[in-house]
Amino acid sequence: NIIGIDIEKIRDNIEFEKLTRRFFSQSEHQEIMKFKDTSRLDAFFATWTRKEALVKATGTGIAYGLDKFDVSVDPDKPAELLNSRWQTECQSNWSLLNIDTQPNYKACLAVAGDMPDIRYWKI
């Protein structure tokens, strides 16, 4: 299977609102802005790791455009590819999974096709 993974430390010293406006789709930016204060930062990093995991798995990289597809933004809900504007069949070909990590980190796994049974240990 083709996979991609991204792990990010949640940092509050970045201008995440500008980053969402510049790199994410308009709908993702609007959804993230609906969250309050620190929850907004969590939503940004959840979205970022979901998008990064997918572009790593596809091999396109972020230069192709993170705004060309939408992922779920709520950090407390399952990761999902909602739609893709670069490959119409892409949505049904990829599965995303939030990975439980240490506090102050977000992580996501992208897998081509259905998500296999994943087991991991958190230290």
Question: Does position 91 have pLDDT exceeding 70, yes or no?
Answer: no
Question: Tens digit of pLDDT for each residue in 24-70?
Answer: 999 999 999 999 988 999 999 999 999 999 999 888 777 778 888 99
Specify the pTM.
Answer: 0.90
What whole-number distance in Å separates Cα of residue 58 and Cα of residue 110?
Answer: 9
Question: Tens digit of pLDDT for each residue in 60-90?
Answer: 777 778 888 999 999 999 999 998 876 655 5
What whole-number distance in Å separates Cα of residue 86 and Cα of residue 11?
Answer: 30
Please calculate the CA angle 12-110-92 and round it to the nearest 5 degrees.
125
Backbone angles phi, psi at 37, to 5 degrees: 30, -110
What the block records as the tokens of 42 is 């969590």
